[in-house]
Amino acid sequence: MKLSELKLTPKRKEICERLGFEECEDVLSYYPFRYEMNEKVPYKDFRIGAQICFVGELVSYPSTFRRGRLSTTRFKVMYEEEILNVTIFNRPWVRNTGMNEKITIIGKYDGNNKVTASNYYAGDVSGTIVPYYPLREGISQNDIRKLIQFVMLHCKDEMEDDLPEDMKKIHHLIDRKDALHNIHSPIDRAHLAQAISRLKYEEFLRFYIALDLLKGSTTQAVKQAKLFSKEKVDDFIRSFGFELTEDQKKASYDILDDLSSDRIMYRLVQGEVGSGKTAVAMIGLYANYLAGYQGALMAPTEILAKQHYDSLERQLEPFGVRVGVLYSAMDDEKDVKEQIGNGQIDVIVGTHALFSKDVEYERLGLVIADEQHRFGVKQRQALKEKGENCDFLLMSATPIPRTLASSIYGDMDVSTIETLPSDRKGCKTYLVRRNSVSGILGEIRNKLDEGRQIYVIAAAIEKSDNYKAKDVNGLYQALKDVLRPYEVALLHGKLDSEEKAGIMRRFERNEVQVLISTTVVEVGVNVKNATMMIVYDADKFGLSQLHQLRGRVQRSKYEGTCYLLSDSTDENTLKRLQILTQTNDGFAISYEDLKLRGPGDILGTRQSGLPAFILGNLIEDTKFIDAAKRDAKQIGNNRENEEYDRYCRRIERMAAKNYIS
């Protein structure tokens, strides 16, 4: 049900717009990130440093001291004949609370009858469970709670629950409507646990059904084995002019074995930033060409597509392979499409234009999707279906630890490249606890004086009252004068294709020394002379994304330097960012990201068309994962069952909704 069908107040409409809610389902799936368990703790059980909840009587008027925008409020309460001194920071006084009236305090016991409160409520609210939601500036917890209750009230009869009944019975799961009610308004721990179990299980079940739908029957399907000369492939590998790492060799052999087998390849090659996945892809494309087939390499951005085209053309054309590039609105788009259709192009590189309806292939045999999590399920499937029994290779620079890869991808074959080429020096990362370059201007100038180039990354394109972050436009205006006489340029996603391409060409030719950009440079941009990166508002990014970004400055024999700028005072945020200063191991970083931020950020599920995990945790929830994988296969293999088929069709609609144009 669309939110536009409800009579929302202007305030609630604004909240929905700012949080990206379009349907009732979006609101009801906005789960709390924590709960406050208001269970009374007897005074005799108070322990220093422990979290406590108690209901006392107010016995002194509150006094508030202010220093700038910060405030400290102190008052006394009586609890079980003890007088407790309570302090709370930056909170207005609880309205309607008078002398000798009851007040519920939640906080930490400091010893000597002193309490630092994190929250307080007028009256006795002990025994309740209070949900807390992620917020944006200008939106309060009360705003979110009221919106969710309003939507729940008006949509309760519209809530679909098509989870097959036998799955509910096997796993003792409550109805979805009850689960949603209990996760937002739990009456006790038992009801909350029931809600979480139902919703976690279904998150994993949807994921694995969607994954199976994406794979189709490729892992069982047979094809005609591709025949090619191993000696010619070896000659091609020697033309690289460098020795492949052991991991690259293993991944290449895996791909060559898949191509020459009678089973359709469905393989993921995951590897560190700069680990040489493109070289491995080229080997697969060349073997596919020798077997008499066309190959297609799909990139998520025009910039990356053109870059792949340049490197593939340089490496493959001396071996007789005709390489082409296709993206929307290019001048000779029609000619390129004709050449693909009549077989004049052997390897085509491009964006989503590769699977447009008017693109036909003469004999497509291998599809490679680079940064596969950035494409929708429908997109990948559409390109694969351009050929008959195509082999399919996915590549990702967001590595998943080996122990988790099989849990996530099931029976998909996974090749992992962990080691970096020997000529790569890596990157040193520093955390600067100010959102300013004023303290590192000397280092910046030294790097520029050495003839090197620099990326400056911002989290926003334009200044906004709703999103507190430095923007590329503001940084460009501020830094272009400070860094004279060096040339400073601006790059972001709102520029048209020609502007972006022109700026990148100038940066590649060192006509621009400082590139101020959003995360459009996160993937695949390869400027070896750029050896320093500065990330403003680093706390706004995930660890894996920051690791991807700093990969741009470790593409050569020179050591890279990355400065993470943040004025956050949150201890957990700073601890998270410190991880990047301690390791360059992308697998370790992705593992930490899984623990700290959840799997949605790692897998790119919101972009991929696969349902995201909101509650589910890939590290902790092995019981749910095992059950969901098993049940997904049963449902997918028995679609003649009406309930199973209806559920699969719902997952297909969800995947289509996440389609990226």
pLDDT at residue 374 tops 70: no
Question: CB within 8 A of 234, min separation 6: which ones?
Answer: none
pLDDT tens digits, residue range 207-255? Answer: 888 777 766 644 456 789 999 999 999 999 999 988 898 999 999 999 9
Q: What percent of the chain has pLDDT over 90?
A: 40
- Structurally, the chain folds into a number of domains equal to 3
Q: What percent of the chain has pLDDT over 70?
A: 87
pLDDT at residue 26 tops 70: yes
At 613, give phi and psi (nearest 5°).
Answer: -90, 125
Report the pLDDT averaged over residues 137-149.
87
Give pLDDT, residue 46.
Answer: 94
CA-derived radius of gyration, the chain: 28
Question: Domain check: are 395 and 267 in the same one?
Answer: yes
Q: Which of 104, 127, 150 is where one domain is finished?
A: 127
pLDDT at residue 397 tops 80: no
Give pLDDT, residue 610.
Answer: 45
Q: Which of 399, 417, 435 is where one domain is finished?
A: 417
Give pLDDT, residue 536.
Answer: 94
SS3 sequence, 532-586? EEEECCHHHCCHHHHHHHHHHHCCCCCCEEEEEECCCCCHHHHHHHHHHHHCCCH
Whether 141 is covered by a domain: the verdict is no
pLDDT at residue 433 tops 80: yes
Whether 220 is covered by a domain: the verdict is no
Q: What is the CATH number of the domain that holds 81?
A: 2.40.50.430
Q: Which of 76, 105, 127 is where one domain is finished?
A: 127
SS3 sequence, 81-95? CEEEEEEEECCCCCC
Burial letters for 526-565: b for 16+ Cβ neighbours within 10 Å, e otherwise?
bbebbbbbbbbbbbbbbbbbbbbbbbbbbbbebebbbbbb
Give pLDDT, residue 464.
Answer: 66
pLDDT interval class at 486 (50, 70, 90): very high
Give pLDDT, residue 600.
Answer: 46
Determine the longest span between alpha carbons in the chain, in angstroms: 91
Question: Domain check: are 401 and 501 in the same one?
Answer: no
State the CB neighbour count (10 A cutoff) for residue 7: 7
Q: Which of the two residues, 542 and 639, has the higher pLDDT score? A: 639
Report the pLDDT averaged over residues 73-82.
94
CB 426 within 8 A of CB 559: yes
Report the pLDDT averaged over residues 16-36.
86
Whether 12 is covered by a domain: the verdict is no
Give pLDDT, residue 595.
Answer: 64
Report the pLDDT averaged over residues 54-79.
90
Question: Domain check: are 453 and 530 in the same one?
Answer: yes
Report the pLDDT averaged over residues 6-12.
89
pLDDT tens digits, residue range 590-605? Answer: 777 666 655 444 443 3
Question: Domain check: are 392 and 446 in the same one?
Answer: no
Question: Domain check: are 519 and 568 in the same one?
Answer: yes
pLDDT at residue 110 tops 90: yes
Sign (positive/negative) of CA torsion 466, 467, 473, 476?
A: positive
Question: Domain check: are 448 and 399 in the same one?
Answer: no
**Rounded-to-integer distance, Cα 311 and Cα 513, Å:** 23
Give pLDDT, residue 217.
Answer: 44
Question: Domain check: are 376 and 249 in the same one?
Answer: yes
- Local structure of 368: helix, strand or coil: strand
Q: What is the CATH number of the domain that holds 366?
A: 3.40.50.300
Question: Domain check: are 413 and 487 in the same one?
Answer: no
**Rounded-to-integer distance, Cα 248 and Cα 276, Å:** 7
Both tokens assigned to 603:
């897998």
**Rounded-to-integer distance, Cα 150 and Cα 427, Å:** 50
**Rounded-to-integer distance, Cα 525 and Cα 40, Å:** 56
pTM above threshold 0.75: no
Whether 167 is covered by a domain: the verdict is no
Give pLDDT, residue 631.
Answer: 93
pLDDT at residue 474 tops 60: yes
pLDDT tens digits, residue range 153-204? Answer: 888 777 778 899 999 999 999 999 999 999 999 988 899 999 999 999 998 8
Average pLDDT, the chain: 84
pLDDT interval class at 37 (50, 70, 90): confident
- Looking at the DSSP bridge assignments, the partners of residue 452 are none
Whether 203 is covered by a domain: the verdict is no
Give pLDDT, residue 522.
Answer: 60
Lowest mean pLDDT among 9-13, 94-98, 329-333: 94-98
Give pLDDT, residue 597.
Answer: 53
Give pLDDT, residue 234.
Answer: 95
Report the pLDDT averaged over residues 330-352.
91
Q: Are strands 488-491 and 514-517 parallel, antiparallel or unpaired?
A: parallel
Q: Which of the 8 DSSP states describes residue 123?
A: B
Give pLDDT, residue 219.
Answer: 47
Question: Domain check: are 360 and 249 in the same one?
Answer: yes
How are strands ordered across the β-sheet holding 488-491? 427-432, 560-565, 530-535, 453-457, 514-517, 488-491
pLDDT at residue 358 tops 90: no
Question: Domain check: are 236 and 379 in the same one?
Answer: yes
Among residues 385, 389, 296, 380, the alpha carbon closest in space to that of 346 is found at 296
- Domain range enclosing 502: 427-583
Whether 479 is covered by a domain: the verdict is yes
Give pLDDT, residue 465.
Answer: 57
**Rounded-to-integer distance, Cα 350 and Cα 632, Å:** 33
State the CB neighbour count (10 A cutoff) for residue 399: 25
pLDDT tens digits, residue range 610-619? Answer: 445 677 777 6
Question: Domain check: are 412 and 516 in the same one?
Answer: no
Question: Domain check: are 382 and 263 in the same one?
Answer: yes
- Local structure of 125: helix, strand or coil: coil
CB 479 within 8 A of CB 487: no
Q: Which residue has the tokens 């069709």?
A: 649
State the CB neighbour count (10 A cutoff) for residue 449: 9
Whether 660 is covered by a domain: the verdict is no
Whether 267 is covered by a domain: the verdict is yes
pLDDT at residue 445 tops 90: yes
State the CB neighbour count (10 A cutoff) for residue 60: 14
Q: Which of the two residues, 471 and 303, has the higher pLDDT score? A: 471
